[in-house]
């Protein structure tokens, strides 16, 4: 397994002035001293992609989109394509975040098409899965996640340009985190599924991130769980100091 990936999802937060100041602080930290063991990725809102691409130049920090359309171009008002994200300097894109599944009714099939569009534009898709509170309470967490994995992953098992993010919906933005034992169970289950789908070697090469109220105070415990290959961080990625503290864990 390669380096852990610490990814910041800014969601619909960040204006040019204060956002750029945070990005510059992050780039300054990344460019000074010894390089981090982890790989850093920031996924800002679309209007900040181009300025951040410039700020992150030579810092080693990667840039990602938060969503992409299934098509490369065309009459899709308000959408952005994977090709456009790549053109702006992105190397990753988040697809199938639970907020998009909920707010925009995205199905597994649509998420899969987005992941394939991402790969078609040479981006690495970060495919998000996760159960709701009701689903966990009724003992369905693993089967829900399995269904999402089977339905949302791109074809081409031999292609290891893929990241999965397990984000329990009830842990997002709530301050609640899944217990390390639950994270271990889910990530282990996802790893087994990947091995079954892609074969042992390709299955082991896919990074599985945990997301949901990851903070500097709980990052060490979560990142030490077997099969946790990084974190997808929301709120705590908005402040360079906190995001850096998580990445340096």
Tell which residue, 221, 211, 208, has the closest CA to residue 249.
221
Distance CA 208, CA 211 (A): 10
Active site residues: 97, 167
What DSSP string runs through 84-95? HHHHTT-SEEEE
Q: Which is nearer to ligand 13P, 41 or 149 (CB)?
A: 41
Q: Please name every residue paired with 140 in a beta bridge, in sequence order, or none if there are none.
A: none
Distance CA 129, CA 39 (A): 21
- The DSSP bridge pattern shows strands 39-43 and 124-129 to be unpaired
Distance CA 81, CA 44 (A): 15
Q: How far is the CB of 233 from ligand 13P (least distance, A)?
A: 5
Q: Which is nearer to ligand 13P, 194 or 214 (CB)?
A: 214
Distance CA 59, CA 157 (A): 32
Q: Which is nearer to ligand 13P, 38 or 83 (CB)?
A: 38
Q: Which is nearer to ligand 13P, 97 or 189 (CB)?
A: 97
Q: Which is nearer to ligand 13P, 72 or 176 (CB)?
A: 176
The strand ranges marked E within the chain are 5-9, 39-43, 62-65, 92-95, 124-129, 163-166, 207-211, 230-233
Contacts with ligand 13P by CB under 6 A lie at 9, 97, 167, 172-173, 211-214, 232-236
């Amino acid at each position: 397994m390669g380096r852990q990936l610490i990814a910041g999802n800014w969601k619909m937060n960040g204006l040019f002035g204060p956002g750029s100041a945070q990005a510059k602080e992050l780039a300054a930290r990344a460019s000074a001293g010894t390089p981090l063991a982890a790989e850093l990725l920031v996924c800002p809102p679309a209007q900040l992609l181009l300025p951040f691409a410039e700020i992150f130049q030579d810092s080693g920090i990667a840039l990602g989109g938060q969503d992409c359309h299934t098509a490369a171009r065309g009459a899709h008002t308000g959408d952005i394509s994977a090709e456009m994200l790549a053109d702006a300097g992105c190397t990753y894109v988040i697809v199938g975040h639970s907020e998009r599944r909920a707010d925009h009714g995205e199905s597994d099939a649509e998420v899969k098409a987005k992941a394939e569009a991402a790969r078609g534009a040479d981006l690495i898709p970060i495919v998000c899965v996760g159960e709701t509170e009701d689903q966990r309470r009724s003992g369905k967490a693993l089967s829900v996640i399995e269904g999402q994995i089977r339905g949302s992953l791109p074809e081409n098992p031999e292609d290891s340009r893929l990241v999965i993010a397990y984000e329990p919906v009830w842990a997002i933005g709530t301050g609640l985190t899944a217990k390390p034992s639950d994270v271990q169970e889910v990530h282990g289950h996802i790893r087994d599924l990947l091995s079954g789908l892609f074969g042992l070697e390709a299955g082991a090469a896919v990074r599985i991130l945990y997301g949901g109220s990851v903070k500097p105070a709980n990052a060490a415990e979560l990142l030490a769980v077997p099969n946790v290959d990084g974190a997808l961080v929301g709120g705590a990625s908005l402040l360079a100091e906190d995001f850096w503290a998580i990445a340096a864990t």
